[in-house]
Amino acid sequence: MPRFYFDMIVAGIELPDEEGVDLPSLDHACRDAMATVAAMAKDHSAAIKIGVDIRDERQPVARVRLSLRCIPSD
């Protein structure tokens, strides 16, 4: 299984992935990253921006972006 690295930016703080995770495919890595970002937003339960840059052993392969906020109606 290829190894993917998930470098995160949570509320402006960079959290580089030093370990990586072995996953079956890029598709799997993307779905896993999206599930992670959604769950992190749920845990946070406040406005937040989360980004994940996915790379394999050689290069960047995908990005996930989430911006969650509540906009009051006028």
Partner 1 sequence: MLEQAMTSALNENAHPLVRKLESIVDLSPEEREALAKLPVTLRDLKADQDIVREQDRPSQCFTIVEGFTFRYKIVEGGRRQIFAFHVPGDTPDMQSLHLSVMDHTIATLVPSKVAFIPHDAVRALFRVHPRIGDVFWRDTLIDAAVFREWMAGIGRRSAYARIAHLLCEMFVRLKVVGLTKGHSCVLPFTQAELGDALGLSTVHVNRSLQEMRGDGLISSGTNSTLTILNWEGLKEAGDFDPTYLHIQKQAA
Residue 55 engages partner 1 in binding (rule: CB under 8 A): no
Beta-carbon contacts of 44 under 8 Å, excluding residues fewer than 6 positions away, are none
Residue in 12, 13, 19, 72 binding partner 1, rule: CB under 8 A: 19
Q: How far is the CB of 54 from partner 1 (least distance, A)?
A: 9
Sign of CA dihedral 27, 35, 58, 20: negative
**Candidate residues 3, 11, 15, 65; the one interacting with partner 1 per rule CB under 8 A:** 15
Give the C-alpha separation, 70 to 61, whole Å. 31
Site for partner 1, rule CB under 8 A: 6, 8, 15, 17-19, 21, 23, 29, 32-33, 35-36, 39-40, 43
